[in-house]
Amino acid sequence: MKNKKQKEKQNQSTKELIGIEDITDYSLRTGYGELVYFIIRPTNISVLSESNVSARIYALMTVLKGIAEIEMLCLNSKENFDANKQYLKKRIDEEPNPVIRNLLQMDSTNLDRMQIQMATAREFLIIIRLNESVGKGKQEKSADVFPYLTRIEKSLKDQGFTARRADNADIKRLLGVYYEQNVTTEKYEDYDGERWVILGE
């Protein structure tokens, strides 16, 4: 029995091992509910006056009082150098001169290094657990969910926070940073080993 359970565990995908059922266009579905993430752009409070800091604290308190089912998460940030890295990759592929190609490769490596160093910056998230909040334990219809999420986003913006709802790519990036501190991967996979599959072979 123990060996059977161990074999079943070994055959599980990464998603199954960490309890993820699905990543939709706007949420993360787990056995503990459907999670929607709002990414908050942080404010540098070290340059604000004491009264402005108090105002920011009061604004956050107002948001927390208005939405009882809010959860918060702080994790390492991933600076986005994807466009720069894609440009360098294209230039490396096109460049006939090996010396210049080597310099371009060094630039690309330097961008990866910068990304890792800048991962000490923080990213702040507000999480809404849909199955417990909107449907009171029942499966919600998407027609009810989107107006509810729009109200939350509006509430955050009304209190002076720069916020946006995380999409599918954001959620995969957040999982990569949260679970493996991966701040350099450009594209996160939907399925284990997806990057190694070549269509038509």
121-159 pLDDT, tens digit per residue, is 677 888 888 864 444 444 445 667 888 888 888 888 888
Q: What pLDDT score was predicted for residue 136?
A: 43
Q: Please state, in angstroms and rounded to a whole number, the distance separating the CA atoms of residues 130 and 137.
A: 9
The domain over range 16-78+121-185 is classified in CATH as 3.30.70: yes
- Provide, for the chain, the percentages of residues in helix, strand and coil under a 3-state DSSP scheme, each rounded to the nearest 5: 55, 15, 30
pLDDT of residue 191: 59
**Contact indicator for 131, 33 with CB cutoff of 8 Å:** yes
Terminal CA-CA length for the chain? 39
Q: Which is higher by pLDDT, 20 or 188? A: 20
Closest CA to 163 of 42, 5, 75, 72: 42
- How do residues 55-89 score in pLDDT, each as one tens digit? 888 888 888 887 777 888 887 666 556 678 888 88
Residue 163: what pLDDT? Answer: 87
pLDDT tens digit sequence for 35-48: 899 988 877 777 88
User: Which residues have C-beta within 8 Å of that of residue 21, sequence separation ≥ 6?
Assistant: 15, 29, 30, 31
Domain boundaries, the chain: 16-78+121-185, 80-119
Q: Is 130 helix (H, G, I), strand (E, B) or coil?
A: helix
Q: Which residues pair with 128 in a beta bridge?
A: 36, 70
